[in-house]
Amino acid sequence: MAYTYSGYDSYDYSSSGMDDVGEKVNEPPDVLAAGKRNKAGGKAGSGVMLMEQLAAEVTDDEPAVTSAEPMDAGIAETSLQTGLSPAQVASLRMTHGYNEVVTKPTPAWLQFALFFWGPMPWLIEIAAVLSIVVGDWKGLGIIVTLLVINAVIGFHEERHAGAAVAALQDSLAPDATVLRDGKVRVIPARELVPGDVIMVKGGDIVPADAIVVPLKPVGMTAATASRVMVDQASLTGESLPVSRSYGQRLLSSSLVKTGDVTAQVTAIGAETVIGKASSLVSEASSSAPKGIKKTLVKLSNVMLVMAFVVALVLLVHGLVLHRDLLELLQLVLVIVIAAIPVAMPTVVTVTMAVGAHQLARANAVVTELTSLEQLASVDILCSDKTGTLTQNKLSLHDCVVPTKAITIDDVLDAALFCSVNDDDAVDHVFLQAGRARAAGEPWINVSRTEQLHRTESIRVPVTNSEVLLRQARAASVTIDTGSAGTQHPVAAGVRILHRVPFDPAVKRTEATIVDSRFGEPSVYRVAKGATHVIATMCGLDDDVNYSASVEHMANRGYRSVAVARSVSSSPDDPDAQWELVGLFAIFDPPRIDTAHVVRRCHELGIEVKMLTGDQSIIGRETARLIGLGDNIVTADELFSDSLTDAIKAERAEALDGLGEVYPSHKYAFVSLLQSRGHVVAMTGDGVNDAPAIKAANCGIAVEGATAAAQSAAAVVLLNPGLSAIINAVEEARRIFTRMSSYITFRIVDSFHVLFFLAISILFLDFELDSIHVAILAILNDVSLVSIAFDHARDSARPLKWNLPFLLILGGVLSCVMIASTIVTYYIAHKASWGWQLQVDATKTAVYLQISVSGHLAIFATRVQDSLAVLYAPSRVVVGGVLASQLVATALAGFGILMEKLAWSHVAEIWGIAVATFLIVDYVKLVFHIFFTDDDETSVAAPARAPDNAAPPAGSVATVAAQAKDH
C-alpha cells in the first residue's frame, strides 16, 4: 500500500485493498463541513429526524466521505502534517467550545422547590392545610418548620453529594492522543477541537466524531493499521463490530475493538451524533427507583399503608362516638405526621457520599453512589488474571524450536517483527528483548533450547521481492522495495507493510514485512499468539510433540507464545501456508499482595474465581501460587453445547476459574453465576473485559484500565492490584450497616409513635397534640443525619436487604417502647402513687419520654449482634443525639410550645428512658441470637462461604519466593 501527499488539497487514497472497504476518495474529507451537516440535521425538537440520521450515519457498509466543501482558512495546509497550531486551536475553541455535552443544570431554586413536591411533601402539606382548617396555628408553624428544615437539609446534602461524585468522576476524565504543532501529546479529551489529528487504538473510546486518514503524521511512532474494528453498540444496539478504514467516519463514544488508526476530528461535543442524541436520552431517562432507593420506597409504602389503616380505624371509631369532624381531621393529621419518614432519602444519600469520599482517599473512585450497596452484597469476585492477579511484568524464559535448523534468534526475530507497541505487555517483552540483544545484553533466561523432534524441517521463506513488486504494479503506484511501509521501531532493516494488532477475539497478531537485512528485500508474514491458535494455523492441532511442549511449559507456570511465518505476502490470503518457528515461555509472577487479597476475600465470604485467556493448566499453577483452588477447566468444557444452561450454571458455581476464555465467555460466565442468585463483581482492565464488567452487579476497573473498561465500571481502582477492593468491600459494608441502622431505628420509632397513638386513643382516651408529634419529627430529622458519620462494624459476610426481617425486628422493639410509654402515662396521670399531672402536662411528659427513649434507641439499633455498650458510637452521633434531646428537654422543662413540666419529673423521665434503652438493647440481642444463624445477618441472607474459605497456608514472602524460583 502506498499514498502520496502534497498539501490538503490533494489526496491519493490508493490501496490494493481499498475496493473492499469503501469508495476510493480523491477529494479531501471536509472536517468542518461534516460538522455543519451534523448541525443541520440534528435540531432540537426533531427526534425522528435525529434517529433517522443516527441510523444512516452508522451503517456497517458506510462509504468513504467525499465532500469537497472547503476547510476553514489556516487549517487546510498543515493540519495533517503537523497538527493544529496553538493559534488555530484557540480560534476553533472560540467557535466550537469544548468537546463536551453540556447538560442544562437544574436551577438551584427549582432544585430546592422540588423538595416540596412529591408524595411525602404532599402529605406534610395536607397536614398543614388541615391545621389551617382546624385553626391549630401553633401546629401549622411547627409543620411548616418541619417541611422547610427537611427541604434545606436535603437540598444542601444532595448538592454536596452530587458535587462530590462529579469531582470523583472528573478524575476519570478520558484523555486523547493528539498531534499539535508537530508534536504528539496526550491531552484531556474535552480539549479537542475540529481539525485535530488524533490517534485511536484498540481499547480506546473514540473521543469525537472523526474521519480516518491514510497518513502517518510526523511524531506518531507506532505503526497504524489500514482499518479498525469498531463497536458501535452504544449507538446502534448492534453487537457485532464494524470495519472502518480510510475516508470513513468514527463516531464519538464508539469503542475501538482492534487496530489503531490516525483520524481527523470532524465534530465535537453537542455537534457529534451521540451529542445530539444525548439531549433526547436525558429527557427520556427513567426515574424508576433502584437498589436502596427501591428499598426505601417499599419501606415508605409499608409505613404509609399502616398509617392510613390506623387513621381509618380511628376515624371510624370517632364517627361512632360522634366526635367533631374537625377534631377527627386533626387526629388524622397527627397520624400522618407520625408515619412520614421524611429524612430517609437525605440520610441515605449523605451516608453513601461520605463513604465514597473515604474510598476516594483509598484510591478507589466510585462512579455511582448506588454501586456501594451492590459492592456490600458481592459474594463472588471474578478476576482477570494477567495484570490483575499477576504483575503483568513479563520476562522471556526457555524457547522451543521445531528443528535444529531454527535458532533462538530466528524465533525472536519472527516474534519481534510483529511487535511494535510498547504499551502492549506481550509486544513490550519482545521489543525489550530485541533492544537488549542489539546492545549485547542478556535477553532471555534460557536453561536450554528444546526441540519438538519433528521429522520434517521447516520451510524457510524465500527471498522474493517480486511479490511486493507485483502488488505495487497492480495498484499503479511507483514504490521502492527498500523503503516501503513503516520502519520497525527496534529491528533495523525491517519495514512493516501491514499489521493486524492483537485481537482478543482471535488471540493473535500478525504483520507483513519487508526484510532487507541480508541484501535483496524479502517479503513475508509473521504471526505470534496463543499456542492453540497458532497450532491451528500451522496444522499442529493433533501434533503430540507440540502439545507436550506446551503442557511442559504450563506445568512450570509459564505462559507460552507461539510464533509462525508464511511466504505469503497478502494479508487476506486464505490459502496462506504457515510454518511454526518456535515457542517462547513467558513468566508473569503473581503480585506480592495477591495471596493476601485472596485470603481476605475468603475471610469476608467472597469466593474468588480467576478468568484467563491462558491455558487452564497455567491457570491452575497461578492459582496454586495465590491460594485459589485448582478446579479450573477450559471455556470450551464449560460451554459445551451438550450441557443445559442449568448444568452450566451449576458447574460455573463450583469452579475456581476458567481458562482459554474469550470476551464472550467472561460475559456468559458472569451471567451464569447471576442466574444462581449470586451478586457478582468483575474486575478487568482491557476492552475484552468491558462487556463482563458492565454485566456484573458491580464492575471494577483496575489501575491502568482502558477507557472502555473504566466507562463500564462502577468502581475504578487507581492503585495496582486488588488490595483496594478489600478496602472498598469493607467500607461498602460499613455504609450498608449505617443505612441498616437508620432504617431499623426509623421502623422502631415510627411504629412506636403510630401504634401508641392508636392505643392511647382507642383504650386510654388520651391523645397527643399535633405540635408534639411535629416537634418529634423535626428533632429526628435534624439529628439523624449524624448516622452517616458513625462508626460501623465490619461484616464477615456479604449483606443484602431483608426488609421483612427489619420490619419484624422493628415491631418487636417498638412493643417494648410502647409499653414504656404506657407506663410513663400511668405514672404521670393515672396511678394514685404517681405524679397526678393534668392532661396537658401529661402530654408533655409522654412527648418527652417518646423523644428521649426514641433517640436512645439509636444506640441499640446501630449494633445488632452485641450489646450497644460494647461498641462505642462516633462523637458525631453522640453529639447529634445529645443536642436534639437537650432541645427536647428544654422545651418540656421551660414550657415552650407546651405545658411546663417540673424538672424532677424531667429527670425521672430520663431515668425511664435509659431503663427502656437497656431493655431494648437486650431484647434486640436475644432476637438476633434466636432468629439468625451463622450464615445470616439481620439485614441479609448472605451467600454461603466458599468451600475453600480456608486457603492454603503461605505467606506473601513464600509466594514471592516461589515466583522467583520460576
Q: Is 600 exposed, middle or buried (0-12, 13-18, 19+ CB in 10 A)?
A: buried
Q: What is the pLDDT of residue 552?
A: 84
Q: What is the pLDDT of residues 96-120, one digit of tens each?
A: 888 876 656 667 777 777 777 766 6
For residues 534 and 678, membership in a common domain is answered with no
Domain span holding position 563: 398-448+490-585
- Cα separation, 225 vs 213, in Å, equals 11
Contact present, 96 and 90 (Cβ < 8 Å): no
Instruction: Find where cell 417518646 sits.
Output: 850
pLDDT band at residue 268 using 50, 70 and 90 as cut-offs: confident
**Any idea what the CATH number is for the domain that residue 657 is in?**
3.40.50.1000
Quick one: cell of 274?
Answer: 451521540
Question: Cα torsion at 173, 174, 177, 178 (round to 10°)?
Answer: -60
Q: What is the pLDDT of residue 849?
A: 95
The CA-atom distances, in angstroms, between 352 and each of 355, 511, 743, 863 are 5, 50, 14, 19
Q: What is the pLDDT of residue 622?
A: 85
Does residue 559 form part of some domain?
yes
Does residue 41 form part of some domain?
no
Q: What is the pLDDT of residue 246?
A: 78
Does residue 12 form part of some domain?
no
Contacts of 690 (CB under 8 A, 6+ apart): 255, 684, 706, 708, 709, 711, 712
- CB hemisphere CA count around 682 (13 angstroms): 31
Mean pLDDT of the chain: 74
Res. 680: pLDDT tops 90: yes
Angle ∠(962,965,966) on CA atoms, nearest 5: 95
Total domains present in the chain: 4
Quick one: cell of 962?
Answer: 516461589
Q: What is the pLDDT of residue 484?
A: 55
Q: What is the pLDDT of residue 908?
A: 95
For residues 617 and 706, membership in a common domain is answered with yes
Closest by CA position to 475, among listed 12, 9, 23, 22: 12
pTM for the model stands at: 0.66
Res. 260: pLDDT tops 80: no
Q: What is the pLDDT of residue 918?
A: 94
User: Whole-angstrom distance between the N-terminal and C-terminal Cα of the chain?
Assistant: 44
Q: What is the pLDDT of residue 503?
A: 73
- Cα separation, 941 vs 100, in Å, equals 43
Q: What is the pLDDT of residues 653-668, one digit of tens each?
A: 999 999 888 777 888 9
Res. 621: pLDDT tops 70: yes
For residues 762 and 784, membership in a common domain is answered with yes
- Cα separation, 923 vs 919, in Å, equals 6
Domain boundary (718, 738, 773) is at 718
Res. 723: pLDDT tops 60: yes
- Cα separation, 841 vs 190, in Å, equals 66
Contacts of 796 (CB under 8 A, 6+ apart): 603, 604, 605
Domain boundary (262, 285, 308) is at 285
Tell me which of 206-210, 419-423, 508-512, 576-580 is least confident. 419-423
- Cα separation, 966 vs 958, in Å, equals 13
Question: Cα torsion at 685, 690, 692, 697 (round to 10°)?
Answer: 90
Pairing outcome for strands 175-180 and 209-213: unpaired
pLDDT band at residue 469 using 50, 70 and 90 as cut-offs: very low
- Cα separation, 232 vs 256, in Å, equals 9
Does residue 471 form part of some domain?
no
**Any idea what the CATH number is for the domain that residue 409 is in?**
3.40.1110.10
Domain boundary (285, 313, 333) is at 285
Active site residue 384: yes
Angle ∠(804,805,810) on CA atoms, nearest 5: 100
Res. 608: pLDDT tops 90: yes
For residues 507 and 612, membership in a common domain is answered with no
**Any idea what the CATH number is for the domain that residue 882 is in?**
1.20.1110.10
- Cα separation, 5 vs 537, in Å, equals 38
Q: Which run of H or of E encompasses 175?
A: strand 175-180
Q: How many Å is the Cα radius of gyration of the chain?
A: 35
pLDDT band at residue 450 using 50, 70 and 90 as cut-offs: low
Does residue 482 form part of some domain?
no
For residues 613 and 665, membership in a common domain is answered with yes
Res. 607: pLDDT tops 90: yes
Res. 66: pLDDT tops 50: no
Contacts of 963 (CB under 8 A, 6+ apart): 589, 590, 625
For residues 195 and 271, membership in a common domain is answered with yes
**Any idea what the CATH number is for the domain that residue 164 is in?**
2.70.150.10
Q: Which run of H or of E encompasses 113?
A: helix 108-113
Contact present, 883 and 783 (Cβ < 8 Å): yes
Quick one: cell of 566?
Answer: 508464511
Quick one: cell of 258?
Answer: 482492534
What integer is the mean pLDDT of 818-839? 92
Does residue 481 form part of some domain?
no
Q: What is the pLDDT of residues 875-905, one digit of tens each?
A: 888 998 999 999 999 999 999 989 999 999 9
For residues 176 and 209, membership in a common domain is answered with yes
Q: What is the pLDDT of residue 173?
A: 56
What integer is the mean pLDDT of 205-218? 75
pLDDT band at residue 342 using 50, 70 and 90 as cut-offs: low
Q: Is 189 exposed, middle or buried (0-12, 13-18, 19+ CB in 10 A)?
A: buried
Does residue 103 form part of some domain?
yes
User: CA 455: distance to chain centroid?
Assistant: 53
Does residue 757 form part of some domain?
yes
Res. 25: pLDDT tops 60: no
Q: Which range has the top average pLDDT, 201-215, 624-638, 947-961?
A: 624-638
For residues 119 and 151, membership in a common domain is answered with yes
For residues 697 and 778, membership in a common domain is answered with no
- Cα separation, 239 vs 231, in Å, equals 7
Pairing outcome for strands 715-717 and 364-366: antiparallel
The CA-atom distances, in angstroms, between 588 and each of 378, 403, 482, 554, 585 are 28, 27, 38, 12, 10
For residues 378 and 415, membership in a common domain is answered with no
Q: Where are the beta strands (DSSP E) in 815-962?
A: none
3-state DSSP assignment of residue 680:
strand
pLDDT band at residue 791 using 50, 70 and 90 as cut-offs: confident
Closest by CA position to 210, among listed 269, 152, 250: 250
- Cα separation, 797 vs 966, in Å, equals 36
For residues 577 and 672, membership in a common domain is answered with no
What integer is the mean pLDDT of 233-244? 60
DSSP lists the bridge partners of residue 396 as: 586
Q: What is the pLDDT of residue 150?
A: 67
For residues 773 and 887, membership in a common domain is answered with yes
Closest by CA position to 334, among listed 609, 526, 527, 146: 146
Choose the catalytic residue: 136, 204, 379, 384. 384
pLDDT band at residue 131 using 50, 70 and 90 as cut-offs: confident
